[in-house]
Amino acid sequence: MTERTAAVTRETAETEIEVTLAVDGDGDATVETGIGFFDHMLASFATHGLFDLTVRCDGDLEVDDHHTVEDVAIAVGEAFDEALGEKRGIRRFADRRVPLDEAVASAVVDVSGRPSFAFDGGFSQESVGGMASHMAKHFCRSLATNAGLTLHAGVEGENAHHEIEALFKCLARALDDATRVDERRSDTPSTKGEL
């Protein structure tokens, strides 16, 4: 199997980002975004998806966390899209639920090439560790848009830290499942012949 890796850079007036991704990795992560909680979530995402992920971001955190989280999600999404290439032989679909104490998250994904995002639920506190809680939802939307995913996600719980962490872990597990190569097929999993 060819290596499914990508390197993406993104530079705007608001952020400078470098991302490397190996879809078939060991879960190794090196993350530096300037937002400690976001770094923790991205490292958890890599660990539970078994992705090797490097993210370095210099963003306008003096404004707020929005541009950093959004632009990192864009770059990580682009890296997934590039690394998966024609998506030959992948399983394509996945459905996961992941608990963390009182919280539970769900993610249903289709690596379809047709970006779509739906979200159910909300977060119990407005922010966690310097990151606005609603930015976790925005991360998922931006990732789905740029990776070409149909993603339905949701959370419930009583603690925003747990809700967001369960969401990142759940998304990672669903993406790991959906991007695995099914040895029974060598074609693209679509009646159209392409994704």
Give the model confidence (pLDDT) of 63-113 as tens digits.
Answer: 999 999 999 999 999 999 999 999 999 999 999 999 999 999 999 999 999
Residue 185 lies in a domain: no
What total number of domains does the chain contain? 1
Residue 190 lies in a domain: no
pLDDT tens digits, residue range 36-60? 999 999 999 999 999 999 999 999 9
Residue 189 lies in a domain: no
Give the confidence band of 184 by pLDDT, cuts at 50, 70, 90.
confident
CATH number at residue 39: 3.30.230.40
Mean pLDDT of the chain: 96
Residue 104 lies in a domain: yes
Give the confidence band of 1 by pLDDT, cuts at 50, 70, 90.
low
pLDDT value of residue 77:
98
pLDDT value of residue 185:
77
pTM: 0.95
Residue among 101, 96, 110, 114 nearest 172 (CA): 96
Residue 30 sits in which domain range?
A: 5-179
CA–CA gap between residue 4 and residue 83 (Å, rounded):
5
Amino acid letter for position 105: A
Residue 53 lies in a domain: yes
Residue 91 lies in a domain: yes
pLDDT value of residue 188:
73
Residue ranges in 10-154 assigned as alpha helix (H): 36-49, 66-84, 134-147
Residue 186 lies in a domain: no
Residues 158, 161, 167: CA angle, nearest 5 degrees: 90
Residue 191 lies in a domain: no
Q: What percent of the chain has pLDDT above 90?
A: 92
DSSP state, residue 194:
-
